[in-house]
Structure 1
Amino acid sequence: MAMTAADIDHAIRAAIHAAWRVVQPRLIATLSRMLRDVTLAEELTQDALVAALEAWPLSGVPDNPGAWLVATAKRRALDHLRRAKMLTRKQDLLTHELMQEQDAMPDFDTALDDDIGDEWLRLIFTACHPLLPRQARAALALRMICGLTTDEIARAFLVSEATIAQRIVRAKRTLSRSGLTYETPGGEALSERLASVLEVVYLIFNEGYSASRGEEWLRPQLCDEALRMGRVLVGLAPLEPEVHGLMALMDLNAARMHARTDRDGEPILLMDQDRGLWDRLQITRGLRALDRARELGGAGRFYTLQAAIVACHATAETAASTDWRRIAELYGQLATLVRSPVIELNRAVALGMAEGPQAGLDLVEMIADEPALSTYHHLQAVRGDLLHRLGRFAEARLSFETAARLATNARERGLMERRAADIADAGGMA
């Protein structure tokens, strides 16, 4: 069947946004180094997207969409330098580079700078400047630098999309007016920004490990980038326990990546995973980092406690031998450190395994009215699992159906729908 004009337009827009999602963060990093202005770099990167939306429906999708976006954005950056009368030797070098790009149109990875990874981390440090409000730093970095959508960031922080949008707008305004230095700071300045930088890296990894929206459950590229930045941070702050704690947490979680989906990309829950597929070398690295975090006095801190929880899973030979009482205890320590309904929800899962489903359900019902969890599909998924284990099948099915409606990731939605359908197929409607 021939494609209609609408089908073609949809396919072109899909190609644009697919290329954009991959190239945007790295392109902002490259332009920021060229222009020494993060906000302007983001504006010019957006201009490249608009240019693609205008040109590609007429000319067709180029053979290398990423390289096209890179060349367009760099050309606009050069135009800006020319208009600002900043014609220096750098301009001549950039002009030569752009001419080569236009002729060869290489893969976008090679069109970017070789040290782009460090440039990305330098941008995160810039966005996490103490001049910006603490709540805005991570949101700005995740949106402008790491390419997450406002909705994805809002879900990560369990606040409204409007709240995140407002934080980002105000932070951009402050950033553009301040003339902040584009740098990776050292000494005391590094310490001042480190907690916010760790938060950004942590959230990048989480989005890669369990994507908040889209068609795929995993975004391995984000996990890999977070791991790379974590290793750079270990080199920058080797005596900071939470740097090692975060590295342990990411390594121990990433060790399970290949077991988390089947060949078709469908999610496999932790208790059902083939532990033979877990990366034992990466688990060893994670456990070593956890030991280092504890040696440095970080045993009771945020990332180290979470790493200790994941270590309980990583060191259990079978799902049945998991030390759920220890996990529940660690979540209790985490809850005293940070008040979070998500931590309490995870503690409910552990209690449900350690003391029985009713204990877990009792805690779930205690936090069910938390505003932050009103659209959080994991609440309904956990509730459905506990109800199912209690034999309350009709209620469990309703919880899984609600979880499916709330899920914004297609794979998770499908998983919840299958769990609800399995109950119906088994006749569990009473």
Structure 2
Amino acid sequence: MTNLDGVFRREWGPAVAALARWSGDLTIAEDAVQEACAEALRAWPRDGVPDSPGGWLVTVARNRARDRLRRESVRPGKELAAVMDDIVARTDGTDPHPVRDDELRMMFTCAHPALDRQSQLALTLRLVSGLTVGEIARALLQSEAAIGQRITRAKNKVRHANIPLRVPPAELLAERTPHVLGCIYSVFTEGYWSTAGPSAIRDELCDEGVRLAGELCSLMPQEREAHALAALVLLHDSRRATRVDAAGALVPLDEQDRRRWDRGRIARGLDRLRQAQGSTGPYLPQAVIAALHATAQSWEQTDWVSICAAYDRLLQITDSPVVRANRALAVGFRDGPEAGLAALDRAADDPRLGHSNLVATVRADLLRRAGRYAEAARWYRTALQGNGSEPGRDFLRRRIAECGG
């Protein structure tokens, strides 16, 4: 039997996006897809997974939504029939809007300026990408309770303020593009560095992030930051197959077999990087860092000077504590672990890292490389307490053992 959880995760976003476009209501769309998934859990083990599981879910969800609309409506029958005809008409015929992809369409819709930035992101990651509240909380460095409340308030605001579930006119797409870029990268990141569960990598989310980045480049070919994001995810993704061994255990970058990196994806990523030149957003320096790793002949030949310079440029664009912590690790490789620890101290107390184990992980690694094994083991244990990924926890346990802990 196919792993149904993986199927549901892969098909959730497209199904919700399609139902939201069909019904015009986020809550109805999400509830209908949940009901369809519940029906699939009953039917598929008995009848087998259909050839098109996504199409099956959308069909069943549309029927559930139609039933709900008819049950809950207090309109006279003729008026309700007219409403239903209008809904059907939205999905019939040729759509003249330039956004063809339902998920991209939903991302642009959720970027409505009436919603604050964090609500836009949380709502999109839940509805479009199917991330759980816990996964979104870890991605945004917030508590699960806060994210759950934010998503509920955003959905209520969309409903009560009658925010239309449609893409803005083409001339207004650019102002919502940063939100869409952020959502696509969050989807890819949760796949590439899975924060919870039994697998270190979630292939369906990696694939979806790469696909959506490419779709956005096709939609907005002059948008340099879209090309920068596409370069970033392609260059990272070129290493996906070597990030875990045959048993599913994490393999750090300095131990990966570079001969197995996907050269086709590296070439495509470098081509996107060339098209991104001149971008002033945060994805270009990140793509440069990824390119420097992807093109280094060996770990020892990595250009840490240029990588640190790219981090410095990134900090000029976004004063992120996550960037500061990662830069500290790069400084440790450029100037030695003690220099890296000093740089980390300047970022460690940022309250925005309160829900992350990043500082503990970086500090432990730098201490290990400095030969301060007892201290490293203590910080690896601290990092272990905040890691929800089983492969991640196993990796930290191995490091503790290596340090004599």
Q: TM-score interval w.r.t. the shorter chain?
A: 0.7 to 0.9
In structure 2, what is the Cα distance between the partners aligned to 1:232 and 1:52? 29
Deviations 1:123-160, CA, capped at 9 Å, x for gaps: 11111111211221111000122111111111111122
Q: 2:65 aligns with which of 67, 77, 80?
A: 77
Which residue of the partner structure matches residue 23 of structure 2?
35
Whose relative contact order is higher, 1 or 2, with alpha carbons under 8 Å and at least 6 apart? 2
* C-alpha contact 2:142 2:355 (8 A) present in aligned 1: no
Q: CA 1:61/1:396 → structure 2, altered by over 3 Å: closer, same or farther?
A: farther
In structure 2, what is the Cα distance between the partners aligned to 1:234 and 1:404? 38
In structure 1, what is the Cα distance between the partners aligned to 2:144 and 2:68? 32
Could you tell me which amino acid in structure 2 is paired with residue 360 of structure 1?
A: G
Higher mean C-alpha deviation, range 201-210 or range 328-337 = 328-337
Which residue of the partner structure matches residue 139 of structure 1?
122
* C-alpha contact 2:12 2:130 (8 A) present in aligned 1: yes
> Percent of aligned pairs with the same residue?
39
Q: CA 1:60/1:293 → structure 2, altered by over 3 Å: closer, same or farther?
A: closer
**Per-residue deviation at 1:269?**
0.7
Is the aligned partner of 1:365 residue 2:350?
no
* C-alpha contact 2:235 2:265 (8 A) present in aligned 1: yes
**Per-residue deviation at 1:15?**
7.2
Which residue of the partner structure matches residue 3 of structure 1?
none
Could you tell me which amino acid in structure 1 is paired with residue 226 of structure 2?
A: V
* C-alpha contact 1:15 1:61 (8 A) present in aligned 2: no
**Gap runs ≥5 in structure 2:** 89-98
Deviations 1:342-367, CA, capped at 9 Å, x for gaps: 10111011100000000001122232
Is the aligned partner of 1:246 residue 2:234?
no
* C-alpha contact 2:143 2:355 (8 A) present in aligned 1: no
TM alignment of 1:5-404, pairs within 5 A: 19-49=7-37, 63-64=48-49, 70=58, 72-83=60-71, 84=73, 85=77, 86-87=80-81, 118-294=101-277, 297-298=278-279, 300-404=280-384
Root-mean-square deviation (CA), in Å? Answer: 2.7
**Gap runs ≥5 in structure 1:** 1-11, 95-115
Question: Does the residue aligned with 2:115 lie in a helix, a strand or coil?
Answer: coil
**Per-residue deviation at 1:217?**
0.8
Could you tell me which amino acid in structure 1 is paired with residue 101 of structure 2?
A: D
Q: 1:418 aligns with which of 398, 401, 405?
A: 398
* C-alpha contact 1:81 1:87 (8 A) present in aligned 2: no
* C-alpha contact 2:10 2:205 (8 A) present in aligned 1: no
Could you tell me which amino acid in structure 1 is paired with residue 381 of structure 2?
A: E
Could you tell me which amino acid in structure 1 is paired with residue 24 of structure 2?
A: R
Deviations 1:181-218, CA, capped at 9 Å, x for gaps: 43344433201211101110110111111111111011
Question: Does the residue aligned with 2:127 lie in a helix, a strand or coil?
Answer: helix
Q: CA 1:374/1:133 → structure 2, altered by over 3 Å: closer, same or farther?
A: closer
Question: Does the residue aligned with 1:339 lie in a helix, a strand or coil?
Answer: coil
Deviations 1:7-61, CA, capped at 9 Å, x for gaps: xxxxx9x9775554333222212222321322321122234456678x68xx976
**Per-residue deviation at 1:177?**
2.4
Higher mean C-alpha deviation, range 381-390 or range 64-73 = 64-73
User: How many residues were matched structurally?
Assistant: 385
Higher mean C-alpha deviation, range 402-411 or range 186-195 = 186-195
In structure 2, what is the Cα distance between the partners aligned to 1:221 and 1:421? 33
TM-score by length of 1: 0.82
Higher mean C-alpha deviation, range 300-309 or range 349-358 = 300-309
Q: CA 1:15/1:315 → structure 2, altered by over 3 Å: closer, same or farther?
A: closer
Question: Does the residue aligned with 1:218 lie in a helix, a strand or coil?
Answer: coil
Question: Does the residue aligned with 2:249 lie in a helix, a strand or coil?
Answer: coil
Which residue of the partner structure matches residue 111 of structure 1?
none
* C-alpha contact 1:130 1:192 (8 A) present in aligned 2: no
In structure 2, what is the Cα distance between the partners aligned to 1:413 and 1:61? 36
Deviations 1:209-248, CA, capped at 9 Å, x for gaps: 1111111011111111111111121122111211111111
